Amino acid sequence: MAKLSTAELIDAFKELTLLELSDFVKEFEEVFDVTAAAPAAVVAAAPGAAAPAAVEEQDEFDVVLESAGDKKIQVIKVVREVVSGLGLKEAKELVEAAPKALLEKVDKEAAEAAKEKLEAAGAKIAIK
């Protein structure tokens, strides 16, 4: 097989659909036992050097139920309202398994709204 240059590979990838490219990445990861995820940036500051000035603002939050409090039934009802697709049994199990994440990677407004509803029902909530 002829060796392709980087430019030729890029041109070949440009012709693929996103689904085809995604399948290629998965297969590449399996064959070579690697991950295509970008590594976390490691910043090693020299002694006396200033810390990085700009810190990215968090835009995804997790809503964690710390405890149901005294009004467990009301909390279960609100959990069913906040977390879509839960039946009564699932919501009860989720509340009894506290501390437990109820919502993951939601925007700030949704996290605050869920926290407000759950705290009004008597639950203790943490947003991370």
Per-residue confidence (pLDDT) for residue 1, from 0 to 100: 60
Let me know whether 116 and 79 are in one domain. yes
Let me know whether 67 and 29 are in one domain. no
Under the banding of pLDDT at 50, 70 and 90, the label for residue 44 is low
Let me know whether 65 and 123 are in one domain. yes
Report the number of distinct structural domains present in the chain: 2
Let me know whether 113 and 76 are in one domain. yes
Read off the pTM: 0.51
pLDDT at 49 over 60: no
Let me know whether 66 and 118 are in one domain. yes
Would you list the DSSP string of 21-86?
HHHHHHHHHHHHT---SPPPP---PPTTPPPPS--PPP--EEEEEEE--S-HHHHHHHHHHHSTT-
**50 falls within a domain:** no
Range of the domain at 118: 61-127
